[in-house]
Structure 1
Amino acid sequence: MPRGRQAYYIASIACCCATGTRWISISYLRHLIANATVPSAKHHRLTARHHRARPSICTSRRLRPSRSFRHFDTHTTLINAIGSPSLAMALARLLLGPAGLAVLLAAAALFLASRAAGLGGGSSRPRRFPRLLLPRLVLPRRGGRPPLPPGPPGEPVLGHLRVVPAYGPEYAYMRWSREYGSDVLFLRVLGQPVVVLNSVRAAVDLLDKRGANYSDRPRFVLFEVMGWGKTLTFLRHGPDFRTHRRILQRSFQKGSIVQYQALQCRETAVMLRGFLDRGPGGGWDKALRRFATAVVLGIGFGIAIDSDDDPLVQVAADASYALGHGGAPAGTPVDFFPFLRWLPRWFHDRSLRFARDWRWAIRGLHDRPFEAVLALAARDRRRSLIKEMLDQREAQLARGETPELTHDDIKGAAGAVFAAGQDTTWATLLVFVLNMVLHPEVQDKARRLLDEVVGRDRLPAFSDRPRLTYIDYIVQEALRWCPVSPIGVPHRSLADDVYNGYWIPAGSFVYANARAMTHDPDTYADPDAFNPDRFAPPAGGEGDGSGGGLGEPFPSGQFGFGRRVCIGKHLAEASVWIVVASVLSTMRIEKARDEHGNEIEPEVELTQGLTSHPKPFPCRIVPRDERAAELVRRAET
């Protein structure tokens, strides 16, 4: 395109904004760019005059916008004073509000128009940089690259910042994936390319098979504000990431978690006794929380939890709340504008205010257990992951060497242990309890199998697992029905890539939408229903007598992909399995009753953030009978 015509088109956009046009659209701007005929100056003046008189109508019949256009307001007063430093703070606040799009577009258009026309800086030569910037706003991309994946229309400058919901984006991605008929979506947020993978096949092809290119992470500014330090889940790819992963993998790989089975069985017995002690409706959720916290603190720190009301249980509860309500990672304004974290509180949006308000919870998770272990003499520390790291550090210092791990590294590893084990276990157990309330027939079927395999004189053990495949089905269905991390933590591509004919730019944020994968109607019949039998082999298949199912695959994606797969996957699944088997063997999970004796139907509501789990709901957990209650009282703790 000749520079003179380019300058005219930029000026046309500026004119539409600066003359007070109330309604303008992306499609209209594209039409301006594509229009090969440059109207006369008289036409331009008449158009501007008509816009001032009738701001909602475009005078040119040929360029009249349709009803489907996206509209936005312009504010010429602020535009005229945009160079005033005194307005910088007000402008920054406005940019994140409803009028932000208009201000950004109008300011950019006026500035670029003056530069392109040679009116700025005393030069008569058109500048080259508008040619580089404008295509990101309104021009279609040209060149020899393959096309980008499909996606919904965005807005100039802001892209999809206001199109993608801040909470529950996984549902929007599922809807768009169906609408555009593609399991790979492309969005752009303030110039940052974002790719969303909505199928297991796409995630495996890119994040697993091409893991070297997708092993990096973006910078998570919001989580930095919230207090997450050197935590493996959020570390960028590099030496720190490799060191932390090497240390944690030793303790949490599938073959290593067998050493924790005695602890898991003991804490399960304590949990069952807590159900008895608290009564039918009293604090069953605290007993579940204590179990998940005790297992993680025992493995990670060598700390024993004495009761459901232990202060460290509340520390874990506070951190889980912060994780479940903090917003999607790398999807909030401060992640794109890091300077926002330093502005006054009145400027902060909801996510940034929440992060600052709950920073104490995440820091408490890192600091309090670590300080409890550090306060003990080396000989008094119980065997644990943190003890091994502290002993290694102290031995290196004693030899005069520079320690491989700092205290911040060790605290970060502790945070990773929590994120990998405690929250995943607790959230999945909540899903299990909720669905047992809603589906008593599942309890009855599991109980018959447990009585046949285990009997009534002991609690289930891990050695029974090969013969209790229906319990595995229940665990996997709980993980599928409500994936703990529905949108996952985004990867970041290191280099340009091409997948199925689509171009994925370097530096893209790549999300694996676990919610879409676990609720794919092409894979799972009636995906919103809780049905453990979906995993059973069809009639005539091999198994434990639970054939006649749908033969559907176990879910994938709820623990991540590639080099960023959750290190606590096997520990969390084992913890959930032993609890599910033990609770169904000895307890009944029922609907709560009101003061008139009527059953209360629980509402299915899920939290939306980095993690997802059911919001509080009423229920009763009671012994099957006196024989089961006596078995729980006699169990070793």
Structure 2
Amino acid sequence: MSKLGPPGEPFFGHFRVVPYSNPQFRYIEWGKEYNSDVLFFNVFGKPVVVLNSVEAAEELLEKKGANFQDRPRFVMFEVMGWGVTLTFLRNGPRFRLHRKLIQSTFTQSACKTYRTVQTEEMRRAVRDILDRPSKWEMLIRKGTVAIVLRLGFGVRVHDDDDEYIKMADEANYATTQGGTPASTIGDHFPIITYLPNWLARSAPLKHARDWGWAIRKIHETAWNSTMKEIEAGNAEPSFMKTYLERYNQSLATGQPCEHTPIDIQGAAGAIFIAGGNTTWSTIMVCILQLLLNPSVKAKAIAEIDAVIGSSRLPTFEDQDSLPYLNNLIQETFRIAPLSPVGVPHKSIAPDNYKGYYIPAGSIVYANARAMTLDSTVYASPSQFDPDRYTHGEPYPKGHFGFGRRACPGRYLAANSVYIFMATLLATTDFAFPKSEAGLPKARELGLSNGLSSHPESYECIMKPRSEEKRLLVISGTAI
């Protein structure tokens, strides 16, 4: 194996060399130090590869996707309860089945049929924010959770204190604090999962055990609720209802069915937690960047006002006429990829990249943070600048993963962010609160560490741009 990487230690290899928290930034530094977009490590004798460029990721994870579609075993996430979930499934029949179920449900064309639900819930979120501005952060989460619950389970969220909002928040904390997948001592020595906490002395294992209830709860609660509605004949259309009906029909006719209720439950649970949290986090990052860059915010509002006018709310039909807003959303994806090093792939057979040997069984991370901060691709990469794309810079890649492991919900998430931000900018003024000295209480973007990052809370004052705008939101909201 190539020596493009820092020296390791006897026995441990690089286990104690690579930072447990936010390793993506250290990978960037090592990439510059060794002048390479691919880095090689070993952890307890296991080969680990980090890809720091889009070129390397596309060459290996997309062009050679069949060889890199596997996952390593994520022991800590298994303990937490994520075993039968597409994101973490190993390559095999069940992975291919779950991928087929979810991808066919969330293709770019299929997502067009969900626009009515997304418009209703995001308009309702903006209406509620203008009615209860002090709860704006929770109300954004409520809106994003409402979309994925309706699509996944046919469940509607009505109240601010709805149990599903709390469940999504708890599951998000459990997952984001679980560390980078395949990076803990338990991932390399699964036997420690049989030991008590006092003997295992593993903080990630203790966290997985302490918070496993949160993951089990999101899989079971919505499932049980929808099952009662299906049995009563009152269930709304949803992913769960569609595939459970197909399963029951197969049983009734004696025909084989490729999926089981366990598969449906795991896939629907993945839609709930992944879809809601990713969208919420992206919106939170976007709003903060607009607060920090008022000229960008003003330009986005001017574009929306010119296209939409003052007598209606934005729709999906307006999206092609709002290029600056679209660029703004892409810049949000770029400035803070919410899965910085992604969920690692695993090579099935030996391979190579630019002459560097990659053994079979290598754990491969795609460092999306390095790709979106690549100064050879983006001018002033730390600056939030939607205009960079009109100057020929490419839209970001990597924030939704690569190849056969790319996030199947990426079109749904992007659509939800668009309709919320378009509606918010069209109707709502938002700013940092001011200190006693009259200065804005601004703060920079802070992100949590782990599998999926989310922004730290920040203060924001929300109010209608005018009374007419407030009434417009009320009249345009379906209840």
TM-score, scaled relative to structure 2: 0.97
SS of residue in 2 equivalent to 1:503: strand
CA deviations over 1:441-481 (Å, ceiling 9, x no partner)? 11111111111100111110010111101011110011000
Provide the rounded CA distance (Å) in 1 between the counterparts of 2:279 and 2:411.
Answer: 11
Tell me by how many angstroms 1:340 deviates: 1.0
- The answer to whether structure 1 residue 414 and structure 2 residue 268 are counterparts is yes
Question: Please, what is the CA RMSD of the aligned residues?
Answer: 1.3
AA at the equivalent of 1:339: I
Which piece of structure 1 moves more, 301-310 or 404-413? 404-413
What does residue 326 of structure 2 align with?
Answer: 472
| 1:371 aligns with one of 224, 248, 254 | 224
What does residue 321 of structure 1 align with?
Answer: 173
What does residue 586 of structure 1 align with?
Answer: 427
| 2:5 aligns with one of 134, 139, 151 | 151
| 1:625 aligns with one of 463, 466, 477 | 466
- Alignment of structure 1 residues 48-127 onto 2, 5 Å: none
Provide the rounded CA distance (Å) in 2 between the counterparts of 1:532 and 1:216.
Answer: 35
What does residue 18 of structure 2 align with?
Answer: 164
Tell me by how many angstroms 1:419 deviates: 4.4
Tell me by how many angstroms 1:534 deviates: 1.0
Alignment check: 8 A CA contact 1:606 1:613 kept? yes
- Alignment of structure 1 residues 5-44 onto 2, 5 Å: none
Tell me by how many angstroms 1:343 deviates: 0.9
CA deviations over 1:33-59 (Å, ceiling 9, x no partner)? xxxxxxxxxxxxxxxxxxxxxxxxxxx
SS of residue in 2 equivalent to 1:187: strand
| 1:354 aligns with one of 179, 200, 207 | 207
Alignment check: 8 A CA contact 2:123 2:476 kept? yes
Alignment check: 8 A CA contact 1:535 1:551 kept? yes
AA at the equivalent of 1:466: D
What does residue 277 of structure 1 align with?
Answer: 131
Provide the rounded CA distance (Å) in 2 between the counterparts of 1:555 and 1:275.
Answer: 30
AA at the equivalent of 1:334: G
SS of residue in 2 equivalent to 1:510: strand
| 2:456 aligns with one of 606, 612, 615 | 615
- The answer to whether structure 1 residue 438 and structure 2 residue 292 are counterparts is yes
Tell me by how many angstroms 1:255 deviates: 0.7
What does residue 239 of structure 1 align with?
Answer: 93
- The answer to whether structure 1 residue 456 and structure 2 residue 297 are counterparts is no
Alignment check: 8 A CA contact 2:171 2:273 kept? no
Tell me by how many angstroms 1:308 deviates: 2.7
- The answer to whether structure 1 residue 255 and structure 2 residue 106 are counterparts is no
SS of residue in 2 equivalent to 1:186: strand
Alignment check: 8 A CA contact 2:178 2:204 kept? yes
Which piece of structure 1 moves more, 404-413 or 176-185? 404-413
Provide the rounded CA distance (Å) in 1 between the counterparts of 2:273 and 2:381.
Answer: 27
CA deviations over 1:581-635 (Å, ceiling 9, x no partner)? 1111111120023467553122421101001121111111211121211211211
AA at the equivalent of 1:328: T
What does residue 514 of structure 1 align with?
Answer: 368
AA at the equivalent of 1:383: P
Alignment CA distance shift 1:498-1:250 (3 Å): same
CA deviations over 1:561-594 (Å, ceiling 9, x no partner)? 1111100011101110111111111111200234
AA at the equivalent of 2:412: L
| 1:330 aligns with one of 154, 159, 182 | 182
Tell me by how many angstroms 1:348 deviates: 3.1
Alignment check: 8 A CA contact 1:482 1:613 kept? no
SS of residue in 2 equivalent to 1:390: helix
What does residue 36 of structure 1 align with?
Answer: none
Tell me by how many angstroms 1:397 deviates: 2.0
Provide the rounded CA distance (Å) in 1 between the counterparts of 2:218 and 2:325.
Answer: 32
Tell me by how many angstroms 1:511 deviates: 0.6
Tell me by how many angstroms 1:353 deviates: 1.4
- Alignment of structure 1 residues 510-589 onto 2, 5 Å: 510-536=364-390, 550-589=391-430
SS of residue in 1 equivalent to 2:352: strand
Provide the rounded CA distance (Å) in 1 between the counterparts of 2:462 and 2:41.
Answer: 46
* Higher alpha-carbon Rg: 1
AA at the equivalent of 1:441: S
Alignment check: 8 A CA contact 1:164 1:172 kept? yes
Provide the rounded CA distance (Å) in 2 between the counterparts of 1:394 and 1:439.
Answer: 53
Tell me by how many angstroms 1:402 deviates: 5.2
CA deviations over 1:241-261 (Å, ceiling 9, x no partner)? 111111111110001001000
Alignment check: 8 A CA contact 1:195 1:508 kept? yes
Provide the rounded CA distance (Å) in 1 between the counterparts of 2:194 and 2:209.
Answer: 11
Alignment check: 8 A CA contact 2:50 2:367 kept? yes
AA at the equivalent of 2:54: V
Alignment check: 8 A CA contact 1:293 1:422 kept? yes
Alignment: residue pair count: 476
Provide the rounded CA distance (Å) in 1 between the counterparts of 2:227 and 2:472.
Answer: 38
What does residue 149 of structure 2 align with?
Answer: 297
Alignment check: 8 A CA contact 1:586 1:624 kept? yes
AA at the equivalent of 1:283: K
Which piece of structure 1 moves more, 526-535 or 481-490? 526-535
AA at the equivalent of 1:519: L
Provide the rounded CA distance (Å) in 2 between the counterparts of 1:213 and 1:580.
Answer: 39
Provide the rounded CA distance (Å) in 1 between the counterparts of 2:196 and 2:219.
Answer: 27
Provide the rounded CA distance (Å) in 2 between the counterparts of 1:388 and 1:500.
Answer: 46
CA deviations over 1:60-98 (Å, ceiling 9, x no partner)? xxxxxxxxxxxxxxxxxxxxxxxxxxxxxxxxxxxxxxx
Provide the rounded CA distance (Å) in 2 between the counterparts of 1:243 and 1:340.
Answer: 31
Tell me by how many angstroms 1:388 deviates: 0.9
What does residue 206 of structure 1 align with?
Answer: 60
SS of residue in 2 equivalent to 1:369: helix
User: Which ranges in structure 1 are unaligned for 5 or more consecutive residues?
Assistant: 1-146, 537-549
- The answer to whether structure 1 residue 395 and structure 2 residue 236 are counterparts is no
What does residue 195 of structure 2 align with?
Answer: 343
Provide the rounded CA distance (Å) in 2 between the counterparts of 1:495 and 1:349.
Answer: 32
Tell me by how many angstroms 1:229 deviates: 2.5
TM-score, scaled relative to structure 1: 0.73
AA at the equivalent of 2:305: D
Alignment check: 8 A CA contact 2:127 2:477 kept? no
Provide the rounded CA distance (Å) in 2 between the counterparts of 1:472 and 1:377.
Answer: 39
SS of residue in 1 equivalent to 2:229: coil
CA deviations over 1:375-405 (Å, ceiling 9, x no partner)? 1234211111100111112112222455433
